[in-house]
Chains A and B, each alone.
Chain A
Amino acid sequence: MSSWQIIQQSLPLFEKGFVLTLWLSLIGIIGSIIVGLICSLLKYFQVPVLGKIAAIYVEISRNTPLLVQLFFLYYAFPVFGFKLNAEMCGIVGLIFLGGSYMAEGFNGGFDGVSKTQVETGKAIGLSRLQLARYVVFPQGFTLSVPALAANMIFLIKETSIFTVIAIPELTNTALDLIGMYYRSNEYLFMLVVGYAIILIPLSIILTILEKRVRYGSFGN
């Protein structure tokens, strides 16, 4: 069979994998942003106990590989009766990982708001909440956009690791087809194309968005 035929035949499977990758990434990214924002807020407002817990979570999550986190969730936890299906494991794992990256992204933005801006806000009598609402958050979000964008791309790539827990996303699909039909060139090519279709446009959009947002709040 020619390469072209191989590719054509595998198209439906790759399409499925592609959709699944997209879908899991989307949920993972949204979840990560939510978790990250919560952790970041807990830190910003120095919420007693919860803030500490969030900080510990961030360190654990950032300093261990997703693969090991997934193995844990998928293979080790059920031993003690805590079982999620593969997709849930993947999503939970991705959010567990992504949450800390996003939290760091937000923190970086909030910390990046200049001290003078904060003091000026205080000087006109803004309360802590108002200061956050009108000064720190609007500027901080803008500052954190590049980090958040980089994290999104990072998380999408990380979904490739889901292959180890049998989620039929792009990478799993390719590796599986290779195992059955031995046409590695064609399938890996499809795999690269699959990621490129997601990531190249996204990275372009994010770059434009970064500039827009930045211009909106800082004018340069």
Chain B
Amino acid sequence: LVLSGCGSSSKSSSSASSTKSTSQSTVQQIKKRGTIRIAVFGDLPPYGWVNKQGQRVGYDLTLARQIAKDLKVKPKFVQVNANNRVDALNSNKVDLVLANFTVTPERKQVVDFASPYMKVSVGVVSPKSQPITKASQLQGKNLIVTKGTTAENYFTSKQPNVKLLKFDSKTQQFNALKNNRGVALADDNSYLYAWVKDQPKYTVGIKSIGPKQYIAPAVKKGNKSLLNWTNKEVTSLNNKGFFDKDYNSQLKPYFGKEVKPSDIVIK
């Protein structure tokens, strides 16, 4: 009752009529609109973050800009946290998610993933002084994760004895690790590598745990038009060697020696 009252008092009336049709943003509609709205991270170097000049940069951002360019529209970035990537699509806040979004069976049910553009698996980072190298060392201990990540999902379902400390953002989780609020932190291994490069006191003790996984762009469930377009786009970018270039410019400077391009980029 109250909700309906609120809804009608907003400026909805004008947009409501067109909502049914725009609840999916087809490629046509995006082109007509002239902008594509893309969900990205704002605090996850080197994938999606904001540099000190205030510019959004990173591996995902370069891809996002390329996609916009190929669509001949302007990109509009919406910063999200891991746990609202799905809602951002479903509530039609964005057309596309390029926020380190790992493909999982659960997620496949609620959004449509395009062809993947990156490989990952879950890694665990811990202080060098007290390294965690096996999952068994985590039993009964606090492990830091971000809400809505595959790391959280993996430990919740497969390692129920690990106590999870769940944060909203990447900033918060890394700060928490530095404050020793948990014995280790689990997240996608690739940017754990990046992170430890600048944090000599920490090491990625478990390089990979759980299944190998892929990161892919996601669109709202049923948005066939954009999905197909994106699939083609990823293939064509791959053919052009875009992802290698992206890797070299955005990721390489952040990664240590232990990471090879083939660990990340899908050939």
- B-binding residues in A (CB < 8 A): 74-75, 78-79, 83, 85-86, 163-166, 168, 172, 175-176, 178-182, 184
Contacts and interface: CB of A to CB of B under 8 A. Distances in A.
B168 A164 contact: yes
A75 B83 contact: no
Given A175-B83, A176-B166, A75 B147 contact: no
B238 interface: no
A86 B147 contact: no
Interface in B72-105: 82-84, 86-87, 90
Of A78, A163, A180, most B-chain CB atoms within 10 Å: A180
A75 B87 contact: no
Interface residues of B, number: 28
A182 B110 contact: yes
Interface string B45-89: 000000000000000000000000000000000000011101100
8 contacts: A74-B179, A165-B172, A178-B87, A179-B82, A179-B84, A179-B152, A180-B156, A182-B86
B70 to A, nearest CB: 29
Given A75-B179, A83-B179, A86-B165, A176 B172 contact: no
Nearest to B106: A181
Contact of A172 (B153, B166, B175, B179): B166
A86 B163 CA distance: 14
Contacts of A79: 179
A163 to B, nearest CB: 7
A182 B168 contact: no
A135 B84 CA distance: 55
A66 to B, nearest CB: 15
A172 B166 CA distance: 8
B176 A166 contact: yes
A79 B109 CA distance: 42
B155 to A, nearest CB: 11
Interface of B: 82-84, 86-87, 90, 106-107, 109-110, 144, 147-149, 152-153, 156, 165-168, 172, 175-176, 178-181
Contacts of B106: 180-182
Nearest to B110: A182
A179 B148 CA distance: 4
Contact of B147 (A83, A165, A176, A182): A176
Given A176-B152, A178-B87, 19 more contacts: A74-B176, A75-B176, A78-B179, A78-B180, A166-B167, A166-B172, A166-B176, A166-B181, A176-B148, A178-B83, A178-B148, A179-B82, A179-B83, A179-B147, A179-B148, A179-B152, A180-B83, A180-B148, A180-B153
Contacts of B87: 178, 182, 184
A178 B84 contact: yes
A165 B156 CA distance: 19
Nearest to A85: B181
Contacts of B83: 175-176, 178-180
A114 B144 CA distance: 55
Contacts of B149: 179
A75 B171 CA distance: 10
B152 to A, nearest CB: 6
A27 B86 CA distance: 36
A74 B148 CA distance: 21
Contacts of A85: 181
A164 B153 CA distance: 19
A75 B175 contact: yes
A175 B168 contact: yes
